[in-house]
């Protein structure tokens, strides 16, 4: 927006510089913070300094910048599209005409439609790894945050012009899997899941833990079974392959419900062998110390780096018995990603904050080992999801809320609201709307809080139609559609308002115009909360406008302009919700 106006001003400034024999410099423009008017600003300090050097002036640079800004402001007069030009302490400020700003913003949003806010192609490939559930366990709300954060981050990065690969790294082998297989072989052999697959898998896992807790002697059987797996006993491997597929099918169903997709799956079972090869390479390079059989294979990172203060600590990369650790496998995974996609500009890991030291150790080890891409790996940390009362969810302890149960509960409650607010909808439409509201209510709390802060999930506040929650934003979207329908449809003609805009109108237009900048900022900082907060702010400003500015019962020229504003608001709400993975429903 306003590229023509900015270029016009820059050309006038160049003419002034040429006339006054001033050096020509590239101007840097910034947006002036909104205070009822929109504007751009540029500093004259660089020009003043260059002029002083060129002419060997001894004057104070701020004084020269101030005089230049004042002279250029006088020279510019009032360029087309602007309502005020001022010089302030060495800065040149230009304020756009409110009617012209309204006109260009609204036209751009309506013209670009679903692509409004989409940034130019950056020609960069980014991988976002997220979700990482363990097979043979339940999928509970604690898993939801990684899935939602990763999906939203991928959506935002794509919208910001990056090419994104969505990857998942399920934990498909480990002690938890062996426990499950042991319980299945001894107490459930021949059974198969019919529905609620992850629920059924989780129940067997919890049963395994209960039985082993009650009778610790049974741990011997688990160790024997683990040895059979290590020896690749065909019976155990075949059972593992079959039951792993059950888990994955359950995950696929859950992801489909949540509107989440993946481009690439990696599994920890695939990383054990290449991980051990990397460990051997580290030993050969004298980076890792092999203390087997008495001790493990370790890397004294701080010592290698010559650090006096402990930072990375000792990194254990292989057990004393030669079996793999998460560290072993994560070294291999990091390498595998760049082997598969050498052009990756960034490899992001959306994993909980408790793994922060672990990833620092992994990435620093690969740097020490000479892998040039190690600096392109980054951990996007997030905090846990708690139940009310600060109970941390754990499938091991059974303190969990299963995701399918939560979705069912949220949908049922949303259905009751839809039934109350819009009883004339068909049953199918009510259920479709309830699902959109319910899923949105689950996703938004995970995104509207800083990644590194704990979320205490409370579905009653998540379904709040009057607070900072998805239903509040969705309802604002529905209200825009209602206004447009009552008006008889959209206004396709471009309109420049010929009346004085109200404070509510200018504030709403300002928020709409900020959307591309919020996308850029969110993508640059890897912070989905930027878009979550933006969507709420947009809905709030629209509701303020709705309460104070009649749209239908006003003079025709005001009616048309405000209806165009409603159309632009509707589109921007839809686009921001889409980045959050939340459906914008037609009715509620």
Confidence of residue 391 (pLDDT cuts 50, 70, 90): very low
Q: Residue 324: which residues within 8 A CB-CB, separation 6 or more?
A: 271, 272, 275, 276, 318
In angstroms, the CA 231 to CA 238 distance is: 13
Confidence of residue 1 (pLDDT cuts 50, 70, 90): low
Confidence of residue 2 (pLDDT cuts 50, 70, 90): confident
Sequence-distant contacts of 310-313: CB under 8 A, at least 24 apart: 311/360, 312/357, 312/360, 312/361, 312/364, 313/357, 313/361
Residue 149 tokens read as 């954060």
Using alpha carbons, list the distances in angstroms from residue 500 to 40, 102, 204, 503, 561: 22, 11, 67, 10, 12
Q: Phi first, then psi: what are they for 34, rounded to 5°? A: -65, 130
**By percentage, how much of the chain surpasses pLDDT 90?**
82
Q: What is the mean pLDDT of residues 353-368?
A: 97
Confidence of residue 400 (pLDDT cuts 50, 70, 90): low
Q: What pLDDT, on a 0 to 100 scale, did the predictor assign at position 396?
A: 47
144 has a pLDDT exceeding 70: yes
**Longest Cα pair distance anywhere in the chain, in angstroms?**
93
Q: What pLDDT, on a 0 to 100 scale, did the predictor assign at position 343?
A: 97
Domain spans, the chain: 3-96, 272-323
586 has a pLDDT exceeding 60: yes
Q: Which residue has the higher pLDDT, 267 or 55?
A: 267
Give the tens place of pLDDT for each residue, 542-572.
Answer: 999 999 999 999 999 999 999 999 999 999 9
35 has a pLDDT exceeding 90: no
Say if residue 14 is preceded by a cis peptide, omega within 30 of 0. no
393 has a pLDDT exceeding 50: no
Confidence of residue 384 (pLDDT cuts 50, 70, 90): confident
In angstroms, the CA 71 to CA 16 distance is: 9
Can you give the pTM of this predicted structure? 0.90
Give the tens place of pLDDT for each residue, 187-197.
Answer: 999 999 988 89
Give the tens place of pLDDT for each residue, 470-482.
Answer: 999 999 999 999 9
Confidence of residue 138 (pLDDT cuts 50, 70, 90): confident
Q: What pLDDT, on a 0 to 100 scale, did the predictor assign at position 390?
A: 47
Confidence of residue 392 (pLDDT cuts 50, 70, 90): very low
Q: What pLDDT, on a 0 to 100 scale, did the predictor assign at position 319?
A: 94
Q: What is the mean pLDDT of residues 406-429?
A: 89
Give the tens place of pLDDT for each residue, 50-92.
Answer: 988 888 777 789 999 999 999 999 999 999 889 999 999 999 9
The answer to whether the beta carbons of residues 78 and 95 sit under 8 Å apart is no
The answer to whether the beta carbons of residues 567 and 110 sit under 8 Å apart is yes
Confidence of residue 389 (pLDDT cuts 50, 70, 90): low
DSSP string computed for 283-311: HHTTSSEE-TTTS-EEEEHHHHHT-SS-S
DSSP string computed for 95-119: EE-HHHHHHHHHHHHHHHGGGTTPP
Q: What pLDDT, on a 0 to 100 scale, did the predictor assign at position 286?
A: 97
Domain spanning 3-96: CATH 3.20.20.100: no
Mean per-residue pLDDT over the chain, rounded? 93
Q: Residue 115: which residues within 8 A CB-CB, separation 6 or more?
A: none
Q: What is the mean pLDDT of residues 440-449?
A: 93
Beta bridge partners of 409: none
397 has a pLDDT exceeding 80: no
Sign of the four-CA dihedral 501, 506, 507, 508: positive
Q: Phi first, then psi: what are they for 167, rounded to 5°? A: -120, 150
């Amino acid at each position: 927006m306003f590229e023509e106006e900015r270029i016009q001003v820059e050309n006038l400034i160049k003419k002034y510089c040429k006339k006054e024999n001033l050096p020509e410099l590239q101007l840097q423009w910034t947006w002036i913070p909104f205070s009822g008017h929109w504007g751009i600003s540029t500093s004259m300090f660089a020009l003043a300094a260059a002029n002083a050097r060129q002419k060997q002036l001894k004057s104070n640079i701020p004084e020269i910048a101030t005089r230049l800004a004042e002279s250029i402001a006088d020279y510019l007069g009032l360029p087309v599209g602007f309502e005020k030009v001022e010089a302030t302490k060495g800065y040149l400020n230009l304020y756009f005409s409110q009617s012209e700003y309204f006109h260009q913003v609204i036209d751009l949003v309506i013209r670009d439609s679903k692509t409004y806010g989409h940034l130019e192609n950056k020609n960069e490939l980014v991988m976002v790894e997220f979700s990482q559930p363990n097979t043979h366990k339940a999928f509970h709300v604690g898993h939801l945050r990684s899935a939602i954060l990763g999906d939203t981050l991928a959506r935002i990065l794509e919208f910001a012009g990056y090419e994104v690969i969505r990857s998942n790294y399920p934990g498909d082998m480990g002690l938890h899997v062996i426990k499950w297989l042991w319980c299945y072989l001894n107490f459930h052999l021949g059974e198969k899941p019919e529905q609620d697959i992850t629920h059924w898998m989780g129940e067997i896992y919890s049963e395994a833990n209960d039985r082993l807790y009650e009778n610790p002697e049974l741990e011997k059987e688990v160790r024997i079974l683990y040895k059979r797996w290590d020896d690749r006993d065909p019976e155990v491997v075949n059972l593992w392959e079959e039951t792993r597929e059950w888990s994955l099918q359950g995950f696929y169903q859950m992801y489909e419900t949540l509107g989440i997709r993946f481009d690439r799956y990696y599994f920890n079972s695939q990383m054990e062998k290449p991980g051990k090869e990397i460990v051997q390479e580290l030993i050969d390079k004298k980076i890792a110390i092999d203390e087997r059989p008495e001790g493990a294979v370790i890397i004294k990172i701080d010592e290698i780096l010559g650090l006096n203060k402990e930072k990375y600590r000792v990194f254990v990369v292989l057990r004393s018995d030669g079996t793999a650790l998460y560290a072993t496998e994560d070294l291999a995974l990091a390498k595998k990603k760049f082997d598969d996609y050498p052009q990756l500009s960034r490899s992001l890991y959306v994993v909980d904050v408790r793994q922060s030291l672990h990833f620092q150790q992994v990435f620093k080890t690969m740097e020490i080992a000479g892998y040039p891409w190690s600096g392109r790996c980054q951990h996007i940390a997030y905090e846990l999801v708690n139940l009310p009362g600060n109970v941390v969810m754990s499938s091991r302890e059974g303190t969990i809320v299963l995701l399918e149960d939560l979705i069912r509960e949220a949908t049922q409650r949303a259905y009751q609201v839809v039934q109350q607010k819009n009883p004339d909808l068909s049953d199918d439409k009510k259920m479709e709307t309830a699902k959109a509201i319910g899923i949105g209510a689950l996703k938004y709390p995970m995104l509207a809080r800083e990644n590194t802060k704990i979320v205490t999930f409370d579905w009653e506040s998540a379904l709040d139609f009057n607070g900072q929650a998805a239903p509040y934003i969705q309802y604002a979207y529905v209200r825009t559609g209602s206004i447009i329908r009552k008006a008889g449809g959209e206004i396709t003609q471009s309109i420049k308002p010929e009346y004085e805009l109200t404070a509510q109108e200018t504030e709403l237009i300002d928020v709409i115009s900020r959307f591309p900048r919020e996308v850029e900022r969110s993508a640059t900082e890897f912070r989905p909360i930027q878009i979550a907060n933006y969507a709420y702010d947009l809905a709030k400003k629209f509701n303020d406008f709705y309460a104070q500015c009649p749209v239908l019962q006003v003079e025709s020229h005001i009616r048309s302009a405000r209806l165009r504003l409603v159309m632009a608001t509707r589109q921007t709400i839809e686009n921001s919700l889409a980045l959050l993975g939340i459906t914008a429903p037609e009715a509620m």
